Amino acid sequence: MKFGWVHVLLLLHLSYLTNRLILAQEDQEQATPSAPPPSVEKCNGIFLSYQFLSRTKEYPRLKNATAQGWAFQSTATILNTGMVELEAWEIYIGFQHREVLVGAEGAILVGSDDFPADASNGTHLSGSASSVLKTAADTAGDLDQMQVQIKLTGTQFGVKPPRIPMPKTIKLVNPGYKCPAVKTHKTAMWVCCTKEKIKRKPKKVVKTKFFPRQEGDLSISYDITAAYDSSYMALVTMENNSPLGRLDHWNLTWEWMRGEFIYSMKGAYTRLVDYTDCIYGAAGQFYQQMDFSNVLNCQKKPIISDLPKERANDTKIGKVPNCCRNGTILPKLMDPSQSKSAFQMQVYKLPPDMNRTAINPPQRWKIVGLLNPEYKCSAPIRVAPTEFPDTSGLQFSTLAIATWQIVCNITTRKAKTSRCCVSFSAYYNESVIPCNTCACGCDDTSTCNEDAQAMLLPSEALLVPFSNRTAKAKAWAKLKHFRIPKRLPCGDNCGVSINWHINTDYKTGWSARITLFNWQEINFENWFTAIQLKKTSSGYEKAYSFNGTLLKDHKNTIFLQGLVGLNFLMGETNGTNPKSDPKVPGKQQTVISFTKKHHRRVNIVKGDGFPSKILFNGEECSLPKRIPIANGNHCHVNLLHVALPVFVAFALMGLKNQY
């Protein structure tokens, strides 16, 4: 059989198409959606499922499979199959393949992270518009009200086809629910989370159509005090409920989800007065007769700060209860009257929300302080309206039109991201163990080693900035015969450092000295520090220069604050001769005494006298990874040099007696 040139061309074209199809299959994997798992029929609670849909190889195309990126698509579904409404739902997806989440349609990231977000250690998602999943009984089986589907898009690394990049787990985070181990089949993962059985008799709760108020370290209330067709008045109140948390110079931010903008504000101010987004956006098209030069802020994510104390009685921007404290929110333990901060604002809306009842609070709340703990905030939940007592003294209260609550809790910072650090020293060791290298991060590591252990220092070196310690550290190392690394360790880069020094140790007690150093130019008013010791906190007796309290209900934490008139930790100042002398930090110091009455077996030298945790203004400080050893002051003497002269002297004395 003879083939003409036409047949040859057809064969070549067919071969080309076949190769293209093979390459396309390698670059793009389309998973066949699994059928709904049969266990959903047996679930009496909240049914969670995760469905991997597809992925496509991304640029650059790499030979290293672990470094190759893949764009993936998946869905997460939350279905209420129980008899109780799920209020303010929140789920956790345990991603494990260095995922970068690019979108989550139908949900928002908890913690105010912006897309793209690093989800390599898992991520928390909550409802964006409505976070209530109703029951089948209340909706006649309407799935639109019973479930929510979240469309996820992102990038994952290191899983080459035909393997499927599934997460480790999915679970419901809401308190009161228990989730067993997940079940997985090919591209699907599911779990049925059920209500936990309460062993003790539950407290009587008055049933209302609103969610119960939640407890947390910081509670934010979003109260609607007046409502109109196109705008509303809101009162935002922040209350500190943590005995060890606080905020200084707070900055609050959120994200408007439906085009709202801030027309005016009292008790606080936006960091940027900008109305250009309104003029060139949907607001400008709808409010064509509005003078936008009077609008305060049109940003989708405004940043709001507290007013200084001097503006508290300003009739235009002040005169709001609990406002104007320069951004300071203290623990109730220190001063209950300063544990709140509030401001009010007028918010304008856009269609289709042009009626009095169409009010949607902003999402993705986040609050930060100058040198304070890191907070993670939940999504707003609708709660019973706040009651406001009559200011004239009459015995009646006014209810807010609507109230939403946002709960923020203190989180643990990652390594090398703290903003204060601790050094250790003791009377039995001449060297000071300084703060950890890069304890508060390192921006420039070109001239230093960020992984090297910090060099031991003489005690006087604690009084000078790190940039002036190099010569002292080298001289001390030479004197004590310590090794000097070729590439010196980086500094701690902390704005506040604390030295914990073991002062004395005797049979019935011991004492320590704590010194606070402020390396910043700002002053800390009404500062506090909290110390936790694993074994010896309960032996606390007295702080001689600070006001000290033992918090037995909080892991025997020792709470220290300045005495009246000494509650300022001043900022860094210039030396006597600014041209030659280093800057001098602000400093506060006290001695603390302890008893061993109930702790006879404690060993201060072996580590029982050193804290397991120290906080400054609520921020957990970085602790050294070692403690001073007990032979630090012992003289290193060659035994031969001592024994030989003694032996010779005795020999000569013996010869003398013979003669």
- Span 93-106, pLDDT tens digits: 999 999 999 999 98
Number of separate helices (H) and strands (E) present in the chain: 7, 41
Output the pLDDT for position 198: 66
Sheet of strand 546-551: strand arrangement? 546-551, 557-562, 528-532, 613-616, 619-620
pLDDT tens across 542-587, in order? Answer: 999 999 999 988 888 999 999 988 899 999 988 777 667 788 999 9
Q: Is 105 exposed, middle or buried (0-12, 13-18, 19+ CB in 10 A)?
A: exposed
Exposure string (b/e) for 524-553, b if CB count within 10 Å is 16 or more? bebbbbbbbbebbbebbeebebbbbbebee
> Dihedral angle at the C-alpha atoms of 291, 294, 296, 299, nearest 10 degrees?
20
Pairing between β-strand 496-505 and β-strand 420-426 as defined by DSSP bridges: parallel
Mean pLDDT per 10-residue segment, the chain (659 residues): 52 51 50 62 94 93 90 95 89 94 89 80 79 89 92 92 92 91 93 82 59 92 96 97 95 95 97 94 95 95 96 94 95 94 97 94 93 90 90 83 94 88 96 95 90 94 90 93 93 95 94 96 93 92 95 91 90 79 91 89 92 95 93 46 51 53
Q: 325: closest CA among 366, 267, 376?
A: 267
Instruction: Give the span between the Cα atoms of 261 and 193, in whole angstroms.
Output: 39
Closest by CA position to 533, among listed 507, 506, 551, 515 = 551
561: β partners: 528, 547
Closest of 475, 426, 477 to residue 452, by C-alpha: 477
- Element housing 14 (H / E): helix 5-27
Using alpha carbons, select from 648, 508, 503 the residue that is nearest to residue 590. Answer: 503
Cβ atoms of residues 541 and 509 within 8 Å: yes
509 Cβ contact list (under 8 Å, min separation 6): 539, 541, 593, 594, 595, 596
User: Residue 204: its pLDDT value, please?
Assistant: 54
Q: 401, 428 in Cβ contact below 8 A?
A: no
Domains within the chain, CATH numbers bracketed: 46-195 (2.60.40.290), 218-410 (2.60.40.290), 420-621 (2.60.40.290)
CB distance 519 to 496 below 8 Å: yes
CA distance 275 to 305: 18
Pairing of strands 524-525, 613-616: unpaired
Is residue 150 within 8 Å of residue 125, measured between CB atoms?
yes
Give the tokens for residue 651: 């020999």
Q: Are 298 and 278 in contact (CB under 8 A)?
A: yes
Tokens matching residue 19: 């190769």
Alpha carbon distance 47, 628 (integer Å): 54
For residue 468, list its beta bridge partners: none
Cα gap 457→423, rounded to integer Å = 10
Sort strands 420-426 and 381-383 into parallel, antiparallel or unpaired: unpaired
